[in-house]
Chains A and B, each alone.
Chain A
Amino acid sequence: MTAGVAGPDRPAPVSPRAAARIVWSLKPRFSALAVVGAVGALIVVLVAIFGPLVAPYNPDAVNFNLVLAPPGTAHHLLGTDQLGRDVLSRMLYGARTTLAVGIVSTLLGTAVGLPYGMIAGYFRGPLDAVLMRIADVMLAFPFLLLAVGLAAISQPTLWTAVIALGVAQVPQIARIARAATLEVRDLEYVQAAQVNGERDLTILRRQILPNVLRPVTVQTTVAIPTAIVGASILSFLGLGVQPPTADWGGMLAQAQQYLYQAAWLGVFPGVAIFLTAFCFNLLGDGITDALNPRGRR
C-alpha cells in the first residue's frame, strides 16, 4: 500500500506542525459575549466563596444608631438597611445563599433526571411509558406550587427551596437524556455490546452515557440562571430562605417598604440577581455554541 496516500475516508498522515495547528483550531470558539458571561459568572462565584471572608461586618449585626444610611457612608460602602445591618456584608453573604440554592438545585435535578431519562429511553416499553407520564405530571407543576406545598408540610427553609427547584428541573433534563439515549440506542454498536454479553449497566455507562452528557450539560448550564432567579422568587415570597439569613431575594422583599426612602436597598440585590442570571445565561449560550458540532468543514 502506498504510504502517505490518503483514502476517501482515511485522513492523510500529518506532520507534528500540522497536528498542532489542528488541535489549536479545535479549541472551543467562545464568542466575546460568552467570555463576558464567563468572567461575570466567575466573579459571582468567587464572591460567593470568598466574599463572606472579607465582609466587613456580620450580616446579622444590627445597629440601631445607623439605620437606613445611604451608600457612601463611612464604613458602609453600600449603606445600611432598616435594622442598621451593613448592606455590603449582606450582599456578600447573600451571594453565597442565592448561588448555592440555584446551583445545588440544578445539580440535584440533573443527578435525578439523567438516569431517569436514560433508563426510560434504554428499556422503553411500559417502563418508559410510565416514567414519562410521571415526568409529564411533574412538568405540569410549577416550582412555586411545589414550594408552597413543601412549605405547608414543613417550615420553608433553604432545603425546601432546593428540593422544590430541583424537582422542577427533573422532567426537562429527563426528556433530553431520553432523547439522546434513543438516538444511539438502536445503533449497531449498541446491539453489538448486547451480543457481547455486556451488562445493561455497562452498556448504559460506556455506550449511551457519552452521547447523553453533551446535551444534558448544555441544558444544565442553561438551567442555572433560571434556578437562580427561581431561588430569588421563592425567598422574595417567603417560601425559601427565611430572614434573618441574608439572601438577595429576601433583601428585595424587605426593600419594598423603603422604596422611596432608601431605594438602594432594592437596587443592589435586584441588579445583582439580574446580572448574575444574565452572565450565567451568556456562559450557557457560549457553552452550547462551543459544544455544537461545527458547520461543514
Chain B
Amino acid sequence: MNDNSLLRIEDLRISFRTAHGPVLAVNGVSLSLRDNEVLAVVGESGSGKTLTGLSVLGLEPPDATVTGRIWFRDEELRSASPRRLRDIRGATIAMIFQEPMTSLNPSLTVGRQVAEVVRRHQGLSWKDARSRVLDLFDLVRLPSGARHLRSYPHQLSGGMRQRVMIAMAVACDPAVLIADEPTTALDPTIQAQILSLLRDLRASLGMSILLITHDLGVVSRMADRVVVMYAGHVLEQAPTAELLSSPAHPYTTGLLGAVPQPDSNAETRRLTPIAGQVPLLRAEPTTCVFSPRCAHVTPACLTAQPALRQVTRGEAHQAACVLDRIPDPARETAPRAQAT
C-alpha cells in the first residue's frame, strides 16, 4: 500500500439482523494504524469499537454481515483464505481480551497453553518451547515464571492471567497487537503495571498496538493517536495530546467533561453528564448521530450525518461535525441531569 500504514480499515460496515429489524453496529469506519504506534479506539458501550477490533482477524460473530476492506501491509484480510487467516492470527496479528479468565483454557496449565502457541506457529519441540515459554514469562514480568509453568489459570490473580495472555500474544513477535479493554477488569495499580508492560513491549519488540478502550485515562497514558467512535461512526480522530486539550467534537468534549478529574489547583467543577443514551442504529442516519444529545445542535446537524473533515487547528485532526468551534463546556451551567 502507498502510505506507511501497517493496518488499514476501509469503510467497514457490520450489521446484524434482529427480531426488530437490522442493527448497524459499525457504519462506515475507516482508520489506519502505522508502524510502531499505539492507536486508541475510544467509545462507550454500543459504539462498535469491539466489533471493529474483532473484524480485523475475522472474529466477528457468524451472524454478522460485514462489508469493507481491511489491509495488512499489502494483503487484504477479508478475502484471505481461512488457512492464511489462521496463520496470521496469533503470529503476525495477535489479540488480547478483557477477561483473561474466559480466554484461557481452564483445564490446561498456562505453561502448556503458551507453549502450544509457540509450537503451532514456530514448530518448536516441547523442550525448546518450554525454554521459550520461560523467556516469555520473563518478558512479561511474571514473577517466579518457572513455578507457574504448571499453574492453572484459576490459581493466578487477574493481573498474572493478563500477563500470560500477553505472553501468548507476543510469543511470535507480532507486528500488530489488538488489545480489547485489556485492563478494564483489573485494579488500578495492576492496570498501571500492565499498561507500562505494554508500553515497554511495544518499544522493545517494535510492534503497533490497536488499543480499544472506554477509559480516557488509559488513552492519555498509552496512545499516540485516538479515534473516537459513537454509534458505529468515527466522530473524531487526532493525536492524543491534541484531542485531550482541544477536542473538536461535542461528544469528545462531553466525554472529557463527564470524567471526574482531581485537579488540586482548580475548584472541583461539577461533572457534565451527557443526557440520553448511545442509540442503536437501525437505518442509515438522516441526521448527525449525536444530535439528539448534543448541546450545540444546529439546523445543519439535522440534514445528514456530517462527514469527517479536517479541523482547522491541527494537522491530522478530523472531526465529523459542522461546527468550527465548540463553546467551552466548563463555563456552561450543568443542567439538572435528566434521567439516563
* Total chain B interface residues with beta-carbon distance under 8 A: 14
List residues of B (272-304) whose CB comes within 8 Å of A's CBs.
275-280, 282, 292
Q: Does A10 contact B (CB under 8 A)?
A: yes
Q: Does B79 contact A (CB under 8 A)?
A: no
From the candidates A2, A8, A11, name the one contacting B292 in the complex (CB within 8 A).
A2
A7 and B279 contacting across the interface, CB-CB below 8 Å: yes
List residues of B (13-64) whose CB comes within 8 Å of A's CBs.
18-20, 45-46
B276 and A2 contacting across the interface, CB-CB below 8 Å: yes
Cα-based distance from A18 to B21 in the complex (angstroms) = 12
A8 and B278 contacting across the interface, CB-CB below 8 Å: yes
Chain B nearest CB, measured from A288 CB (Å)? 25
A2 and B279 contacting across the interface, CB-CB below 8 Å: yes
Chain B residue at smallest Cβ distance from A10:
B277
Q: Does B102 contact A (CB under 8 A)?
A: no
Q: Which residues of A contact B45 (CB under 8 A)?
A: 8
List residues of B (113-145) whose CB comes within 8 Å of A's CBs.
none
List residues of B (285-334) whose CB comes within 8 Å of A's CBs.
292
B338 and A1 contacting across the interface, CB-CB below 8 Å: yes
List residues of B (236-252) whose CB comes within 8 Å of A's CBs.
none
A297 and B20 contacting across the interface, CB-CB below 8 Å: no
B276 and A1 contacting across the interface, CB-CB below 8 Å: yes
Q: Does A5 contact B (CB under 8 A)?
A: yes
A6 and B276 contacting across the interface, CB-CB below 8 Å: no
B19 and A7 contacting across the interface, CB-CB below 8 Å: no
B292 and A7 contacting across the interface, CB-CB below 8 Å: no
A297 and B277 contacting across the interface, CB-CB below 8 Å: no
Q: Which residues of B contact A1 (CB under 8 A)?
A: 275-277, 292, 338
* Interchain Cβ contacts within 8 Å, total number: 33
Chain B nearest CB, measured from A2 CB (Å)? 4
Cα-based distance from A5 to B292 in the complex (angstroms) = 10
Chain B residue at smallest Cβ distance from A1:
B276
Contact with B along A1-23 (1 / 0, CB 8 A): 11001111011100000100000
Chain B residue at smallest Cβ distance from A7:
B277
Given contacts A1-B292, A2-B292, A12-B20, contact A7 B280 (CB under 8 A): yes
B280 and A5 contacting across the interface, CB-CB below 8 Å: yes
Q: Which residues of A contact B19 (CB under 8 A)?
A: 297
B338 and A7 contacting across the interface, CB-CB below 8 Å: no
Cα-based distance from A11 to B280 in the complex (angstroms) = 10
Q: Which residues of A contact B338 (CB under 8 A)?
A: 1
Chain B residue at smallest Cβ distance from A8:
B46
Q: Which residues of B contact A5 (CB under 8 A)?
A: 277, 279-280, 292
Q: Which residues of B contact A (CB under 8 A)?
A: 18-20, 45-46, 275-280, 282, 292, 338
14 additional A-B residue pairs with CB within 8 Å, beyond A12-B280, A297-B18: A1-B292, A1-B338, A2-B276, A6-B20, A6-B279, A6-B280, A7-B46, A7-B278, A7-B279, A8-B45, A8-B46, A8-B277, A18-B20, A297-B19
Q: Which residues of A contact B (CB under 8 A)?
A: 1-2, 5-8, 10-12, 18, 297
> What are 29 contact pairs spanning A and B, CB under 8 A?
A1-B275, A1-B277, A1-B292, A1-B338, A2-B276, A2-B279, A2-B292, A5-B277, A5-B279, A5-B280, A5-B292, A6-B20, A6-B280, A6-B282, A7-B277, A7-B278, A7-B279, A7-B280, A8-B45, A8-B46, A8-B277, A8-B278, A8-B280, A10-B277, A11-B20, A12-B20, A18-B20, A297-B18, A297-B19
